Structure 1
Amino acid sequence: MNFFQLTKDAFEQFTDKEMKPLHVGEVMNLWFYLIGTKQTLRGDEISRNTCQDEDLKKKLDEAINDVHRPMVKELEEFFLKEGVPLPDTTPEKNVGDYRSIPDGAKMNDEEIANFLAYNLVVGITAAVRGMTEAVRVDVAYMFLKYQMMKVAYSVSFKKMMEDKGWLKTPPFYNQERHK
C-alpha cells in the first residue's frame, strides 16, 4: 500500500466540489500555523548564524529552504487568495558570521539542535490538530503535507542528533527494579 497515493486518492474525491468558505477554526489554525512557522524560521535563521557544527548548519539550511520557507510561501499565497489578512511578523534575519557573540549569550550547537527538534514536534502536533479540525479538504491536505514534510525532515535530523550525542531521552524504565 502506497500511503501517498492512498491519501491523494482519498482527497481527490472531494476536490471537484465548490469550496465552501473557510470556517473560523480553519482560519485560526492556519493563521497560528503561519505565525509559528515564521517564528520557527526566524529561530532557524538566528541559529544558522551562530552554530559552529557544519552538519548542523547543513540541516538548518535544509529546514530553512526545504521545510519552513515553502510552508510560509504557500500559506501566504493561500491567505491572499482566500482574503485572510496576513499576520504581522518579524523580518527575515540576514546570514552572517556572529562568532564574536560571547558563548554565554548564544545557544551552543546541542541547544540549537534540541530547540529545532522541539519546534518540529510542536509543528507536527499543530499540523495534526489543523488537519483533524479542518472541514475543507484543501486545508486538511495542506496540514497533512506540512506534517509529512516535518516528519520526513525529522528522521534524518534525529539520526544526526543521535550520532552527535545531542538527543535528549528520558531515563529508561526498569520493571525489575519496581517489583
Structure 2
Amino acid sequence: MPNPFEAVWNTLKIAVDNVNEPHTPLHVIEVGDCWKYITMMEEFIRYEEIGLNTTTDDEVKEMLVDVIALCKDQVQKLSKFMIKEGIPLPDVTSAKPQSNSMEIPLGVKLTDDEITNGIAFKLVLCMQASAVGQANSIRNDVGMMWLGFFSDWVTFGTTLKTLMRKRGWIKVPPYYYPPGSPKHN
C-alpha cells in the first residue's frame, strides 16, 4: 500500500536530484498539455475580466483580482518554460477593456452567483488539467511545475469555497440516501 509520507519524501528527493536528471526533449503529450493549459489560462483570464466589469460586490472583485493574479503568474511561468523548450505560444484573445458595470444591460450582465460558479467550474478544469499534465510528464521539472499549478488551485479553491458558502452560491447536488437508511434533513 502506498505511503503518503514516502511519496512526499520521494518527491523532495526528485526535486533535489533534478539537477542530475538528463535533459531529454519533451514528448508530444507534454507539449500538448502545456499548449492546452496556457490557452485555457488565457481564456480563463478573459472570463475573470468580464466578471470584474460586471460585479459591484467588493468581495467578488477581490476574489477576481486574486484569481487573475494567479492565472497571470501561471501563464508567465509556463510561457517562459515553453519559450525555453522551443514550443510556440498559442494565439489568444485580447484583454477585455474596463467598463462600467452599471451600463451593462441586466439581460447581459452576469450575476455574482454566475461569476463565482463560473470561476469554480474553471477551477475544477484547471485542477484536472494540472493533474493530467503531472501524470503525463516524464521529466521531473515538468512534473514539479504541474504539481505547483495544482497546489495553487487547491489553495485558491478553499478561499473561493468559503466565499460561495457564505453567500449561499455553492451548487450542491442532491443528497444520496442509501436504501434502507433513515433520511436526514
Same fold (TM > 0.5): yes
The match for 1:129 among 96, 116, 132 is: 132
Larger radius of gyration: 2
The match for 1:36 among 22, 40, 46 is: 40
CA shift for structure 1 position 5: 7.2
What pairs with 1:39-118 in structure 2 (closer than 5 Å)? 39-65=43-69, 67-118=70-121
Could you list the per-position Cα deviations for residues 100-119 of structure 1 after superposition, in whole angstroms to 9, with x for gaps in the alignment?
Answer: 11111121000000000000
Distance in 2 (CA, whole Å) between partners of 1:35 and 1:143 is 15
Retained in 2: the 8 A contact 1:15–1:138?
no
What pairs with 1:133-172 in structure 2 (closer than 5 Å)? 133-172=136-175
Retained in 2: the 8 A contact 1:29–1:130?
yes
Retained in 2: the 8 A contact 1:127–1:143?
yes
- Would you say 1:119 and 2:137 are equivalent positions? no
Q: Which runs of structure 1 show a deviation greater than 6 angstroms over 4 or more consecutive aligned residues?
A: 3-6
Q: Quick one: which amino acid aligns to residue 84 of structure 1?
A: I
RMSD of Structure 2 on Structure 1 (CA):
2.0
Q: Quick one: which amino acid aligns to residue 141 of structure 1?
A: M
1:11 corresponds in structure 2 to 15
- Point out the more displaced range, 91-100 or 155-164: 91-100
TM-score relative to the length of structure 1: 0.92
Structure 2 stretches lacking a partner, 5+ long? none
- SS in structure 1 opposite 2:107? helix
CA shift for structure 1 position 29: 0.4
Could you list the per-position Cα deviations for residues 19-70 of structure 1 after superposition, in whole angstroms to 9, with x for gaps in the alignment?
Answer: 10011000000100000011011111111111121101100000001x1000
Retained in 2: the 8 A contact 1:79–1:85?
yes
TM-score relative to the length of structure 2: 0.89
CA shift for structure 1 position 174: 2.2
Structure 1 stretches lacking a partner, 5+ long? none
Among all aligned residue pairs of Structure 1 and Structure 2, give the percentage whose two residues are the same amino acid: 32
